[in-house]
Amino acid sequence: MYEDFGERLRKLRINAGLTQAKLGKRINRGVTTISKYESGAILPTMEIAVELAFELRVSLDELFGYENTSVVSTFGLSDEQKELVSSLIALFRGQSNSGKQRLTAEQCEVIGRIMEAFYNK
C-alpha cells in the first residue's frame, strides 16, 4: 500500500504541474519529505494528507487509491455548480443505456446552465 500511495502521489503532483519543491512549500514541508512520501518510505499524517489532497485538488479517497469510479467528485465546485452537476446526473440516470440516444430538451437545458455557471464565473 505504501508504494501505491507514493506512486499515486507522484502522478497526481505531476498532473497538477507541481515539482516536489513547490508541493512541499505549499504544505510547509521540505523536498526530502515529499520525496519520502513518493518513495513509500513514510506515509503522511492525516493532517498532511488532507493538505496534500487540497493542494492536488483530489479527494482523500483518490489520494489513497480508494476511488470509486462510479462516484463523481464535486471537490472545489461552488454549491450552484454542484447542484447543476447533480441535476444532470439525475437526468442521465433516468435515461436507458441501450442504443444511441439523443439528449432530451431538459438535458440540453441543464447542460446550457452548467456551461453558463462554469464559464461566467
Are both 7 and 57 inside the same structural domain?
Answer: yes
CATH code assigned at 50: 1.10.260.40
| pLDDT in the model for residue 1 | 42
* Domain-embedded: residue 70: no
Tell me, yes or no, whether 60 and 35 share the same domain. yes
Are residues 31 and 21 in contact, defined by beta-carbon separation less than 8 angstroms?
A: yes
Q: Are residues 19 and 55 in the same domain?
A: yes
- 39-50: string of b/e by CB count within 10 Å (b at 16+)? eeeebbeeeebe
Distance of alpha carbon 40 from alpha carbon 110, whole angstroms: 44
Residue found under cell 521540505: 30
Number of domains composing the chain? 2
Range of the domain at 89: 79-119
Residue 92 lies in a domain: yes
Quote the pTM value.
0.57
Interval 1-29: pLDDT, tens: 444 899 999 999 998 899 999 999 999 99
Q: Looking at the structure, do residues 7 and 60 belong to the same domain, yes or no?
A: yes
Hey, what amino acid is at 55? E
Whether 31 contacts 74, CB under 8 Å:
no
